[in-house]
Amino acid sequence: MPAPEDFGVEMVGVPAGAVIELDLRLEAVLEGVLVTGTATVPLEGECARCLDPISDTFEADFQELFVYPDTRSGGNAEDDEYRLEDDLIDLEPVLRDAVLLALPLSPLCRDDCPGLCAECGVRLADAEPDHHHDVADPRWAALHELTGGDAESAPSAPASPTGGSGGPGPRGTDRRERRQEG
């Protein structure tokens, strides 16, 4: 069957009109028809880390009961139940639920994809092994300008023992005022 429109999530989905292969088993049960099957769908999208195109196939399993209109639950079927309509079964909502819920929200081109450099945007898989950027800490920029240097080459901030900068240090000592709190 051809894939309907909007059959995917934000980063990956089934192209509209692509062929969906179905392997179905239909069983007559007391309340209706039990449909069990597997849908094999082609996927296209982009990697969540490096934005490279992804093209793959995906299998989704599903099982759903379609109730007869003249049975006890078919006459007043709830909203979450599916009904047989003139001996026809509409599989699109069942397939949509099975495939969309199983798709990854952040698909990857490969499991160990390093992604993009946060500074320059180059693919880290293609970059040199020693690819890095000397980033100046903006808190030191004004002080570095007073010494005649440019803000781009300012030193990075030293790590404080408490994880902050200039806040209370160990044992409640305020470094700015050098007095004991407590």
143 in the same domain as 75: no
Identify whether 29 is part of a domain: yes
Identify whether 24 is part of a domain: yes
30 in the same domain as 92: yes
Domain region containing 43: 7-102
149 in the same domain as 76: no
Identify whether 135 is part of a domain: yes
Residue range 120-149, pLDDT digits in tens: 888 888 888 888 787 777 888 788 778 776
144 in the same domain as 78: no
87 in the same domain as 12: yes
Top pLDDT among 106 and 168 is at 106
pLDDT at 42: 94
Q: Tokens 């309340």, residue?
A: 31
CA 50 to each of CA 9, 44, 130, 133, 155: distance values in angstroms, whole numbers, following the listed order: 18, 15, 18, 19, 30
Identify whether 1 is part of a domain: no
The number of angstroms, rounded, from the C-alpha of 47 to the middle of its chain's C-alpha atoms is 10
pLDDT bin (cut points 50, 70, 90) of residue 182 is very low
pLDDT at 150: 55
Identify whether 97 is part of a domain: yes
48 in the same domain as 11: yes
The number of angstroms, rounded, from the C-alpha of 154 to the middle of its chain's C-alpha atoms is 37
88 in the same domain as 145: no
87 in the same domain as 135: no
Residue range 59-81, pLDDT digits in tens: 999 999 999 877 655 455 566 78
Q: Could you give the CA distance from residue 55 to residue 12 in angstroms, rounded to a whole number?
A: 9
Residue range 79-113, pLDDT digits in tens: 678 888 888 898 999 999 999 898 888 899 989 98
- Per this entry, what is the length of the chain? 182
Identify whether 167 is part of a domain: no
**Number of domains composing the chain:** 2
Q: 106 - beta bridge partners?
A: none
Identify whether 115 is part of a domain: no
pLDDT at 162: 47
Which of 15-24, 63-72, 145-154 has the lowest average pLDDT? 145-154
Identify whether 118 is part of a domain: no
Q: Could you give the CA distance from residue 54 to residue 35 in angstroms, rounded to a whole number?
A: 31
What percentage of the chain reaches a pLDDT higher than 70?
76
